[in-house]
Amino acid sequence: MAFVDSDPAAGNTQLAASVKILIAGGFGVGKTTMVGAISEVAPLRTEEMITETSVGVDDLSGVEGKKTTTVALDFGRITIDRSLVLYLFGTPGQDRFWFLWDELARGALGAVVIADTRRLESSFAAIDFFEKRGVTFAIAVNCFQGAPIYTTDEVRDALDLDGHTPVVFCDARERNSVKDVLMTLVEHLIARASAQALP
């Protein structure tokens, strides 16, 4: 399975299965960046400037330099091959916008939870959300410059993940790195579906 360039005129995507994937995680972990790095269409973004209204409401610790925030969703699309197209929905990261998550999660086949090792605790809410709803997910550790470096097992232990949940290190700015994350999730979804189909 490999990514291909979409060519609607050639009918590449007309018969493809459409799969909804959520890109989730805490505030400032790289959700908007990840969707923008991989989308084959101009991504839809709902970013607004962070204003003084955020003071005392939003936790900006660890991301003090961030100037914008997603207030609804990010949207992008990537064609895996002629039979599969992923529609990516990036969730808002701030607590006050989490009421949107239930609607965004409706119909999602899987999710990527982006983690930042400088503040792994910001991943717990997303992990808990997907575990409670039975949505299969993978962890993408976005490797920020100067962030602490941990092994896969250390991240898995810190996030209290089961042994089957994939953990992938990535750079959310790099298309090939994001491809690896999405392919890991797709392969995990296929493996789970195959295991459930066994008698």
Tens of each residue's pLDDT in the chain, 199 residues: 555 555 544 454 456 789 999 999 988 899 999 999 999 988 776 555 545 544 444 455 555 554 554 445 788 999 988 888 999 999 886 665 666 778 888 999 999 999 999 999 999 999 999 999 999 999 999 999 999 999 999 999 999 999 999 999 999 999 999 999 999 999 999 999 888 877 7
- Is 10 contained in some domain? no
Domain residues for 91? 17-44+70-197
- Is 2 contained in some domain? no
The span from the first CA to the last CA of the chain, in angstroms, equals 26
CB atoms within 10 A of CB 22: 26
Q: What is the pTM of this model?
A: 0.79
> Quick check: 154 and 162 in contact, CB under 8 A?
no
- Is 161 contained in some domain? yes
- Is 8 contained in some domain? no
Sheet strands side by side (includes 110-115) = 74-81, 84-90, 17-25, 110-115, 136-142, 167-170
- Is 7 contained in some domain? no
- Is 25 contained in some domain? yes
